[in-house]
Amino acid sequence: MSVKPTYLVLIPSYNTGEILLSTVSEVLHYDTPVWVVIDGSTDNSAALLKPFLSQYPTQFQLVELPENKGKGAALFIAMQQAHTQGFSHILTMDADYQHPAHAIASFIAQSQQQPAAMILGKPIFAASAPALRVQGRKISNAWANLETLGWGIGDSLFGMRVYPLADLIAIMESTRWARRFDFEPEVAVRLAWRGVTVINLPTPVRYLAKEEGGVSQFQYLRDNLLLTWMHTRLFFGFLVRFPYLLLRKF
């Protein structure tokens, strides 16, 4: 008899300020357990969430890391804890209010239909979305689909996703990379190499202006260099796996 999947919403946060409170407040309206990973933040944002510990004692948990480790590393620490507590899947979303909490139900419903698949959000951009961010991600998407022989990764960078936890932990344990901003594209490619089915779920994304409390840790030069190095590594990994990927495709 199959075991019913269990889901956890996992939100990594680094210096996201008061907008983190808005994000978590909306997510907690749903019944799914919610963990926020404070990745060495220095803005006192963790204190804003402390009241939730008593308001939602069985639903909400804070994971506080003493120093900044990077998005992927912070998630890896939390997902290992989640696995030991019996969760089978994690739904990741960003702390900066970009991802809609109302989409949580759709992501989980899709995953429940195909528990072995990864559910990748595919962003629906508003007209106000920064053109540099909208156009720039097309390069990473093209590389990701080359590196997987068109396995079907609709968007390699969007952070709202559901992962089968055992598969995700296995690939994180197999590499020392995917520990920072490179987490989303690298794990999508590596899960595809592992044979995990992709389901793309169109999802609205919002970009808040600074006046609205919007924050971003994205640094154009640093993070694009990181992505360039990542895709260089993955391309050579793709060449090694090419015969297997070709046989699998046909």
User: What is the bridge-based pairing of β-strands 118-125 and 34-39?
Assistant: unpaired
> Domain for residue 2, yes or no?
no
pLDDT at 2: 53
> Domain for residue 238, yes or no?
yes
43: CATH? 3.90.550.10
**Per-residue pLDDT at 1 exceeds 70:** no
**Per-residue pLDDT at 233 exceeds 90:** yes
> Domain for residue 87, yes or no?
yes
> Domain for residue 184, yes or no?
yes
CA distance 158 to 148: 17
Residue 148: count other Cβ atoms within 10 Å of its Cβ. Answer: 23
pLDDT at 222: 85
> Domain for residue 1, yes or no?
no
**Per-residue pLDDT at 110 exceeds 80:** yes
> Domain for residue 81, yes or no?
yes
Tally the domains of the chain: 1
> Average of pLDDT values for 138-150?
97
CA distance 240 to 81: 33
**Per-residue pLDDT at 247 exceeds 90:** yes
**What domain range is 25 assigned to?**
7-249
**In this predicted model, what pLDDT tens digit does every residue of 169-221 receive, in sequence order?**
999 999 999 999 999 999 999 999 999 999 999 999 998 777 676 777 777 68
Predicted model pTM: 0.95
User: What percentage of the chain exceeds 90 in pLDDT?
Assistant: 85
CA distance 238 to 30: 39
Q: Where are the beta strands (DSSP E) in the chain?
A: 7-13, 34-39, 60-65, 89-92, 118-125, 161-164, 198-205
> Domain for residue 190, yes or no?
yes
Contact 200/120 with Cβ under 8 angstroms? yes
